[in-house]
Amino acid sequence: MTNASSHITDGGADPSYGSSYHVPVLCDAVVEHLITNPAGCYVDATLGGGGHAAALLDALAPAGRVIGIDQDAEALSATRARLSDAVAAGRLQVVRGNFERLAHLLTDVLELEAIDGLLLDLGVSSHQLDEADRGFSFQQEAPLDMRMDDRQGLTAHQVVNDWSEEDLREALWTYGEERAGARIARAIVDARPLDTTTALADAVRRVVPTREEVKTLARVFQGIRIAVNRELKALEAALQQAVDVLQIGGRMAVISYHSLEDRRVKRFFRHGNLQGEPRRDVYGNPVTPWNELTRKPLRASDAEIEANPRARSARLRIAERIAEPDLPAVP
Ligand SMILES: C[S@@+](CC[C@H](N)C(=O)[O-])C[C@H]1O[C@@H](n2cnc3c(N)ncnc32)[C@H](O)[C@@H]1O
C-alpha cells in the first residue's frame, strides 16, 4: 500500500495527516464511513492541502484511487508536490475545477461512469486564511479579493464597492447571518471607496460595540466571502449532481462549518431535495435516493478541537446512494 502520508514534509508522518497548509478535520471518521470498496474510485472535490486525500489513499487498496478537485491553483500545486508518489503511480489525479460543475468534470472531462464515494470539506483552507494577500482575513491587511479561483471576475472589492446597499445588506443577512446587516451595509456604503481588508474592518468597527467586534467581523467577512465565491449555489449544485455520479451503494460525506451549509446537506440527505420536503410514492413510501447514515452530524472530539480549534464548528454528515425504493408488489 502506498503510504501517502510519508510525503508530508512538515511534521513528518503525522497520523492526523495535517500539514502547515491545512489540518484536515474528522479524518478518521471520513475514511471509516466513506470507503465501501477499497479498490474503488473516490472523489475529494475540496482537495485543499490533500490531508483527507492522503488518508483515503492510505486506507484504500493499491487499486483504489482518488480524484482530487479544487478551484484554487495553489491547493493543487501544493498537493501535487505533497502526494507526488501517488500522482506518479496513477492513484491520485488532480483536477482544477469548481464542484458546482461536478457532473461535467467527472463525466465529460474525466470520462468516468460512476464513483464509489464523494467528499466535500466545505469553506476555505487554513492556507487561504493565512495567506494575507488573498484577502480572506480581517486580521491582516490585504487588497479586498477573497476569490478561491483567481480566474473568476467577481472580487470582494466589487461586492464591497459596487453592490447596492440593499444587495450588500442581503448578503450580510443571508450569508453572514448578521443581524446588524442593515447598519453595517449603510456604514460600508458611507465609507466607500474601501480598498483593503483593514479599511473594510474599520468601517464595520465604527458601528458595532467593541465587545462584539470580533464575532461581527467574522460574520461580515464570511458573508462577503460566500457571496464572492457563490458557495451555497455551488453546494446545492454538487448535492444535486452527486445523485447522478455516485454508484448505488456509494457514499457522500460533507463537512460543513456553519448552519447555512449544514441545513442544506441535512435536508438533502434526509429527503432527497433542497426544500426538505418528504416525497412519497402512491403507496406512501418515502422517495429519496439517499439512506441517511447520520441522523445527527458527527462532531470532533474534545481532543481534536484542542489540537485544531477549526474542528469546533465542523459537522460531518454521510449518506449512501440507494436505488429508488422498491415498490411493494401490486396484489
Ligand atoms: C476546507 S478546505 C479542504 C481541506 C482538505 N480537506 C485538506 O485535507 O487539506 C476547502 C477547499 O475546497 C476548495 N473549494 C471550496 N469551494 C470549492 C468549489 N466550489 N469547487 C472546488 N473547490 C472548492 C477551497 O479552495 C479549499 O482549498
Q: Is 169 in the pocket of ligand 1 (CB under 6 A)?
A: no
Instruction: Round to whole Å and give the CA distance between 54 and 17.
Output: 7
How far, in Å, is the centroid of ligand 1 from the Cα of 47?
5
* pTM higher than the cut 0.85: yes
Instruction: Round to whole Å and give the CA distance between 102 and 84.
Output: 24
Residue-level pLDDT at 267: 97
**Site to substitute for ligand 1 among 25, 46, 232, 257, most atoms within 8 A of C-beta:** 46
291, 281, 280, 271: which is closest to 330 by C-alpha?
A: 281
Q: Is 155 in the pocket of ligand 1 (CB under 6 A)?
A: no
Domains of the chain: 4-126+232-321 (3.40.50.150), 134-230 (1.10.150.170)
> What is the number of the ligand 1 atom nearest to the C-alpha of 52?
8
Per-residue pLDDT tens digits of the chain, which is 331 residues long: 334 433 323 333 345 799 999 999 999 999 999 999 999 999 999 999 999 999 999 999 999 999 999 999 999 999 999 999 999 999 999 999 999 999 999 999 999 999 999 999 999 999 999 998 999 999 999 999 999 999 999 999 999 999 999 999 999 999 999 999 999 999 999 999 999 999 999 999 999 999 999 999 999 999 999 999 999 999 999 999 999 999 999 999 999 999 999 999 999 999 999 999 988 888 888 889 999 999 999 999 999 999 999 999 999 999 999 997 654 444 4
Residue-level pLDDT at 324: 72
The one-letter code for the residue type at 307 is A
Residue-level pLDDT at 95: 98
**Site to substitute for ligand 1 among 34, 52, 70, most atoms within 8 A of C-beta:** 70
Residue with cell 500545486: 77
Contact predicate 187/207, CB 8 Å = yes
Residue-level pLDDT at 326: 54
How far, in Å, is the centroid of ligand 1 from the Cα of 40?
22
**Site to substitute for ligand 1 among 102, 106, 148, most atoms within 8 A of C-beta:** 148
Q: How far is CA 160 from CA 23, 109, 118, in A?
A: 31, 35, 34
DSSP 123: S
The grid cell for 142 is 490585504
